[in-house]
Amino acid sequence: MPLSVRDLTVSRGGAIILQGVNFTLASGDALIVRGRNGIGKTSLLRTICGLQPAWAGEISGCEDRIAFAGHADGVKLTLTVHENLTFWSQIFGCRRTQFALEAFGLENLRNRLAGTLSAGQRKRVALARLLLTERSIWVLDEPTGNLDQDTVKTLLSIIKTHKRGGGSLLVATHDQLEWEAETLQLDAFRPKKTEIFPIFASGAK
């Protein structure tokens, strides 16, 4: 079942920031969300993940199928890399910790405390978590920040494998990724006039 977004209105802090967003993401598809800072990329992704309610519109086909990786990486600094990943593998009931470590080249860092890692290495730990969710729709917010060229290539090859396996992908990024995917330019969905509603307005859904 494809992820389908129809006439979605997205709000942030009581103000409507995107209106009439429509797209469908079938299995094996990828969609890159682009737009200038503050346009609402993160808010759109959070709405699709169910972390914030849609102001209006409909999102279907995402129930328990989405793995989200946002700005904050959720990596615990006082746990080792292996402990961090084992925790998420247990939460998602998946036993592929070793595979995830190897896929992102974290094998030699497995017993290091996450607090002693560089920002890029920590980002790799956060991305390795995606492999442990065994979910088909990956929603990634700026996944290539802090990553070196080699790791970006690794991520792209993992993404290709994910897509070949029937997975799909929704990525918000400013970077030019060396792979072909449809682009959703958010500038087209800006409301003509910014309407600000009180947070507890009766019309809020």
Partner 1 sequence: MIALLVRDLRLALRTGSGLGLGVAFFLIFVIFVPFSIGSQSDLLRAVAPGLLWLAALLSCLLSLERILSIDWEDGSLELLATAPLPLEAVALIKAFTHWLTTGLPLIACTPIVGVLLNLEPQGFLWLIASLGLGTPALSVIGVFGAALVLGVKRGGLLLSLLVLPLYIPTLIYGAEVARRGSQDLNVMTPLLLLSGISIGVISLLPFASAAVLRANLR
Question: Min. distance of Cβ 46 from partner 1 in angstroms?
Answer: 8
Question: Min. distance of Cβ 91 from partner 1 in angstroms?
Answer: 5
For partner 1, give the closer residue by CB, 55 or 189: 55
Q: How far is CA 69 from CA 126, 187, 193, in A?
A: 7, 23, 31
Question: Min. distance of Cβ 153 from partner 1 in angstroms?
Answer: 25
Q: Which residues of this protein are in contact with partner 1, per CB under 8 A?
A: 49-53, 64, 66-68, 70-79, 83, 87-88, 90-93, 129, 133
Question: Min. distance of Cβ 78 from partner 1 in angstroms?
Answer: 4
CB-based contact 180:33 (threshold 8 Å): no
For partner 1, give the closer residue by CB, 92 or 99: 92
Question: Min. distance of Cβ 97 from partner 1 in angstroms?
Answer: 12
Helix, strand, coil share of the chain (percent; to 5): 35, 25, 40
Q: How far is CA 23 from CA 41, 155, 180, 193, in A?
A: 14, 24, 17, 23
Residue type, 173: T
For partner 1, give the closer residue by CB, 19 or 43: 43
For partner 1, give the closer residue by CB, 20 or 53: 53
For partner 1, give the closer residue by CB, 83 or 102: 83
Residue 138 pairs in a beta bridge with 67, 169
Q: How far is CA 144 from CA 99, 109, 124, 172, 176, in A?
A: 21, 20, 10, 10, 10
DSSP 4-15: EEEEEEEEETTE
